[in-house]
Amino acid sequence: MGLVMGAFSMQGKQVDYHPDKVDDDLELSIVCHRPEGLEPLEAQTNFNKKELQVLYRGFKNECPSGVVNEETFKQIYSQFFPHGDASTYAHYLFNAFDTSDNGSIKFEDFVMALSILLRGTTTEKLQWTFNLYDINRDGYITKEEMTDIVKAIYDMMGRFTYPALKTDAPKQHVDAFFQKMDRNRDGVVTLDEFILACQEDENIMRSLQLFENVI
């Protein structure tokens, strides 16, 4: 879970809050997309207005046009993993943020997902993570999909891990966890199976709480 939102949460911590300058920046910048207002987002997310202003300022600093395409997203995310290749994982993560499936992420898309990952309930966080692993969005996670995601995570972390990872580590990881998740042995993992298995894993449940106070 930490890898899911590490880069953008770190950006959120680095942004200084200047409420007057936020308004000035909005007037001075020519953008392709602007949120209609923060009030609806305040009602729809677990962030207050001040937090939303901080997040918007950071988002717009990185993406002056008001939208993020996949290449820009990859460039931003890869900065936090200089020793690995984050491009494949960033691709999957981008698709999870791009809920409208139009090839771009607006501030609304970004902040709705971040609200779940930082402040959502355990079930909401696990549902979002399930959707990340469900690459083709058919409502099931196959072993191949889980393998693709796990390999992407290992690629992102790079070769400079300690202790050094074995080349077959991703496969071993997937084999063990998929067997645990696929309760009825039908070759796919449903949302219910995914949530149940994660709730029984202390490490996963602990990771869900790591970023609750990031902002």
pLDDT band at 165 (very low <50, low <70, confident <90, very high): low
How distant, in Å, are the alpha carbons of 78, 102, 110, 160 from that of 73? 8, 14, 11, 24
Give me the pLDDT at residue 14, please: 38
pTM > 0.85 = no
The mean of the pLDDT values for the chain is 83
Q: List every span in the chain annotated with CATH 1.10.238.10.
A: 45-120, 121-214
The reply to whether CATH 1.10.238.10 applies to domain 45-120 is: yes
Give me the pLDDT at residue 3, please: 42
**Cβ contact 5:118 at 8 Å:** yes
DSSP 3-state of 80: coil
Out of 1.10.238.10, 1.10.540.10, 1.10.10.10, 2.70.98.10, the CATH code matching 121-214 is 1.10.238.10
By C-alpha distance, which of 49, 48, 69, 54 is closest to 17? 54
Interval 25-41: pLDDT, tens: 443 344 467 677 889 99
Q: Does the pLDDT at position 102 exceed 80?
A: yes
**Cβ contact 146:177 at 8 Å:** yes
